[in-house]
Amino acid sequence: MAQFPVRENDVVGLAQTLSAGLKTNELVYPTPPVLPDALDDAIAVYVDARDVAVAAQAQAEQHVQEKEAALVDLIEKMKSDLRYAENTVNFDDDKLKLLGWAGRKAKTPLQAPGQARSLEAPREGEGWLFLDWKEPADGGKVAAYKIQRRQRPDGPWSDVGMAIESEITLTNQERGKEWEYRVIAINKAGEGDPSNTVMAVL
């Protein structure tokens, strides 16, 4: 017995074949509960909704890139003022507190981050996947997160993205394969243990 498809493209392909088959075989299937024209209308509604979703996803990615660029610009401007303030008051802690800042602290050896926690994939679509997770509960300060994937069940892990915050949208992911993803927190001292994994078929 045939199984109903799971992937969106396969569903649409079957719908188109079903509609065409009903139209050309009216003597075999004279009274289907959903007429071919109604199927065609439903296909058109889906295609329009899909196109809107794809465009919205592309626009969202553009907005995220613009936000990241704006954040980098803000950070650079803040650092410039803070360096000026440090030099102006010779790292006087009390005076720097007026700006919400502080003087120099005794250096302590940097530790590698701990394990990124609670990795989830709450949203996914055709060739893209949104991941989020929680920062490590221990270890050194995280500088960035490395996102890795492998083909299940036991393919080699490979890097597919980097993130500063504890979320990322991965695009252009190869479709039709069963992927497993994980996240690793990193800094100059090294890497934390890999997070839990999540599986996705895009």
pTM: 0.49
Cα 174 to Cα 127: distance, rounded to the nearest angstrom: 6
Exposure of 10 in the CB half-sphere (CA atoms within 13 A): 8
What per-residue confidence (pLDDT) applies to 142? 96
CA of residue 15 relative to chain centroid, distance: 30
CATH of span 117-201: 2.60.40.10
Q: One-letter amino acid identity for 133? A: W
| pLDDT band (50, 70, 90) for residue 176 | confident
User: To the nearest whole number, what is the mean pLDDT of the chain?
Assistant: 92
Residues 6+ apart with CB under 8 A from 157: 148, 149, 150, 182
What's the confidence (pLDDT) of residue 104? 76
**Contact between 87 and 105 (Cβ < 8 Å):** no
Predicted local distance difference test score (pLDDT) of residue 202: 75
Domain span(s) for CATH 2.60.40.10 in the chain = 117-201
Q: Are 101 and 85 in contact (CB under 8 A)?
A: yes
Cβ neighbours around 198 below 10 Å, total: 19
31, amino acid identity: T
Q: What pLDDT was estimated at residue 102?
A: 87
Look at 113 and 2; give whichever has higher pLDDT. 113
Task: Convert the pLDDT of each residue in 42-57 to its tens digit.
Answer: 999 999 999 999 999 9
pLDDT of 135 reads 96
Please state the length of the chain: 202
- Mean per-residue pLDDT, 93-108: 84
pLDDT digits (tens, 9 = 90+) for 10-37: 999 999 999 999 999 999 999 999 999 9
Q: What pLDDT shows up at residue 76?
A: 94
What band does 106 get if pLDDT is binned at 50, 70 and 90? low
